Structure 1
Amino acid sequence: MFWPVLIAVTGAFSLALGSALQERDAVRAPGRQVARAGFLLHLLRQPRWLIGSAAAVLGSSLHLIALSGAPLTVIQPLGVIGLLFAIVLSAVFNRQRVGMSQVVAGVAVMVGLTGVLLLFPHGSDVPVLPTSTALVLAGTAVGAGLLVYLTAHWMKSGVRALLLALAGGAALGTTSGLARVVTANAVDDWTRLVSWLTLLAVVTAVFGALLMQNAYRTGHFSAAYATLLITDPVVGVAIGAVLLGEGAPETPVARIGALAFSVLAIAGTIALAQARHRNPEAPDGRRHSGTTVRTRTR
């Protein structure tokens, strides 16, 4: 049990570090408050952002490895602890102090998310998802995300961070659901990797990445990262419960508990969005001679 736990904690730190490094270049990239798709191409040319992306991929991979050697009830809470790592790392990079309110809000998110995930059953049968259903699922995620993306310019930075991360997390959670179907079926037949579901997973993943980098761009990194940690797995669990037959909490007590934990996680995320600590380099949207003016938030 020792090694899976160590791997899970290492993975949580690696994912948090990667995301914090990505934020550094996301807020400095040229463009509007809500950048267009070319924004990702710019980030792909930034060495630090690429290192951050590699660290995030490594963190996700380590989390999956840890799950193969220990129960979900042990590993999932350890994965969520990455939020505290992210809060501290972001503060260090921005030369700010970590406020007690941020820590309390982060713990609330961790406890709430862990409670929700543990109350949902986790099926072991090979999942099946028709292509038509997958198209509707991916289309809904992308369509909702596109609506947020097109209207985010008129939102305050805190609200923009939450909604972009919510839409991005939903797209990435959809990717997780699609990837679960593809990988589970590819175990017996690797040719299953070449399918419409794989293409849809790639599309939702790229779109989700665009939304998340724009969420980081607001400067409210802790809130955006917390929203991602909540939305991604919850959407994945919901897809499993509704579309893949993995089930939902069966007893009234479990359902009420899941709702209470959800409220706790949401309250913690809102508190993080309202925190005064924000990346001082985040664009405030005012422009002069084609150059974004950045202000330091006090």
Structure 2
Amino acid sequence: MISVLFAVLTALSNGAASVLQRRAALNVPASDAMRLSLLGHLLRQPVWLGGIGLVIVAAVCQAVALATGPIAVVQPIFVIELPATLLLAGFVMRVGVPRPVWSGVAAVTLGLALGMASAAPVGGTEEVRGAAWIPALVATGVFEAVLITAALSTRRNARAALLGLAAACGYALTAALMKDAMSRLESHGAVGLLTAWQLYATAAAGVGALFLLQNALQSGSLVAVQPMLTLGDALISITYGVTLFGEHVRGGWWLLPQLIGVALIAVGCVILARSPLASGGQEPAPRVK
């Protein structure tokens, strides 16, 4: 499937971008948290600009994936971004991949396969019908406000986790808006796309999510951010797919293997995020460029 191929390409680009952005965020003073000056510091770092370049590549691939497949299929595939990036980093830098990393890769891969096979998302429309966006945007806004407010009252990894989940929600919203906008391109051509409010809302949501992610990465460790970002994006995207696009996933007793799959992915993400290849640590010595 074209959608699966481009979803994998998106995951590879996003995973590499997250590692580069994390390295850049470590050099930003804590006093710049939740301020526009944070972006000013990051813009002066080539490693961060390289990460943004990969974000742009990922956005193009994601648009193609969402235009050709259900959001409940495309977005969960993105959980492979961290394991794929770490394996690629180890290969490029000619460093042996530690055994825990392989365990994390296995957990994420098995969890994704189990979750997708048991959920079996199908169906759905290409665009959002009627005024369904209104309650969705209101609910998203309230959820984001609660997360950000809670994050501002905490510190370090707790703040990083909450902001990571807020960023995940922003990225999931961006994907849903992007899919709806791309449907206008197919049905009404370039004019329909350029006159659709969803296109400009996609850009706004994407910038907001990026800002939240930078603050999450600056606030705490990748171990705190990555599981919330990865699982939050996948699960919230499935929610958008079901509620906005009418996609269907299995319920009933199928929820049990789905929950097991989610647990495996979470464990795998924690294991992988602790790796020096992900955190930018010095042991082993290689750097992700």
Same structural fold, with TM-score higher than 0.5 when normalized by the shorter chain: yes
Alignment partner, residue 142 of structure 2: 143
Distance 1:104 1:69, change over 3 A: same
2:171 counterpart SS class? helix
Distance 1:219 1:97 in 2: 27
- Indicate the larger mover: 199-208 or 83-92: 83-92
Q: Which residue number in structure 1 is paired with residue 181 of structure 2? A: 182
Q: Distance in 2 between matches of 1:68 and 1:147?
A: 31
* 8 Å Cα contact 1:5/1:66 also seen in 2: yes
Aligned residue number for residue 227 of structure 1: 228
**Would the aligned equivalents of 1:227 and 1:269 in 2 still touch at CA under 8 Å?**
no
Conserved in 2, the CA contact under 8 Å of 1:33 and 1:217?
A: no
Match of 2:54 in 1: 55
8 Å contact kept, 1:34–1:152: no
For residues 146 and 90 of structure 1, the distance between their equivalents in structure 2, rounded to whole angstroms, comes to: 36
Identify the residue that residue 115 of structure 1 maps to in structure 2: 114
- Of Structure 1 and Structure 2, the greater helix share is in 2
Q: Distance in 2 between matches of 1:125 and 1:172?
A: 20
CA contact (8 A) 1:175 1:202 kept: yes
CA positional deviation for 1:200: 3.0
Is the deviation greater in 222-231 or in 69-78? Answer: 69-78
Preserved CA contact (<8 Å) 2:72 2:247: no
2:27 corresponds in structure 1 to 28
* CA distance in structure 2 between the aligned counterparts of 1:172 and 1:181, rounded to whole angstroms: 14
1:249 has 2:253 as partner: no
Q: Aligned letter for 1:39? A: L
8 Å CA contact 2:7–2:78 kept in 1: the answer is yes
Question: CA 1:271–1:265 in structure 2 vs 1: closer, same or farther (change >3 Å)?
Answer: same
Q: Displacement, 1:249?
A: 1.0
- Cα 1:41–1:228 change in 2 (3 A) is same
Kept in 2: contact 1:31–1:39 (CA 8 A): no
Once the two structures are TM-superposed, the CA of residue 279 in structure 1 deviates from its matched residue by: 5.8
The answer to whether the Cα contact below 8 Å between 1:219 and 1:279 also exists between their aligned partners in 2 is no
Q: 1:72 to 1:245 in 2, by over 3 A?
A: closer
Question: Cα gap change, 1:88/1:214 in structure 2, threshold over 3 Å: closer, same or farther?
Answer: farther
Deviation at 1:173, TM superposition (A): 0.3
Quote how far apart the aligned CAs of 1:169 are.
0.5
Within 2, Cα distance between the matches of 1:166 and 1:23? 16
SS of alignment partner, residue 227 of structure 1: helix
CA separation in 2, counterparts of 1:128 and 1:81? Answer: 28
Residue 247 of structure 1, CA deviation:
1.6
**Larger relative contact order, structure 1 or 2 (CA cutoff 8 Å, min sep 6):** 2
SS of match in other structure, 1:40: helix
Q: Tell me the alpha carbon deviations over residues 103-155 of structure 1, each in whole angstroms, 9 at most, x when there is no partner.
A: 53454334324433442423253222434x32432333333223333332443
2:286 alignment partner in structure 1: none
Aligned-pair identity (%): 26
CA distance in 1, matches of 2:73, 2:128: 27
Q: Contact conserved, 2:7 with 2:61, CA < 8 A, in 1?
A: yes
- Residue 62 of structure 1, CA deviation: 4.0
Q: 1:191 to 1:68 in 2, by over 3 A?
A: closer
Shift of 1:272: 6.0
Report the alpha carbon displacement of residue 15 of structure 1 after superposing the two structures with TM.
2.5
Q: Is the 8 Å Cα contact of residues 109 and 226 (structure 1) preserved in structure 2?
A: no
Alpha-carbon shift at residue 183 of structure 1 (Å): 1.0
Aligned to 1:291: none
Once the two structures are superposed, the pairs formed by residues 210-221 of structure 1 within 5 Å of their partners are 210-221=211-222
Cross-structure match for 1:191: 191
8 Å CA contact 1:23–1:217 kept in 2: the answer is yes
Equivalent position of 2:285 in the other structure: none
Question: Does residue 1:14 correspond to 2:13, yes or no?
Answer: yes
RMSD (Å), alpha carbons: 4.1
- Structure 2 distance, partners of 1:235, 1:178, is 13
| Distance in structure 2 (CA, Å) of the matches to 1:74 and 1:205 | 20
Taking structure 1 as the reference length, the TM-score comes to 0.72
5+ residue gaps in structure 1?
282-298
Quickly say closer, same or farther: Cα 1:236–1:73, change in 2 above 3 A. closer
- Aligned equivalents of 2:205 and 2:27: distance in 1? 25
CA change 1:242–1:86 in 2 (3 A) is same
- The count of aligned residue pairs is 275
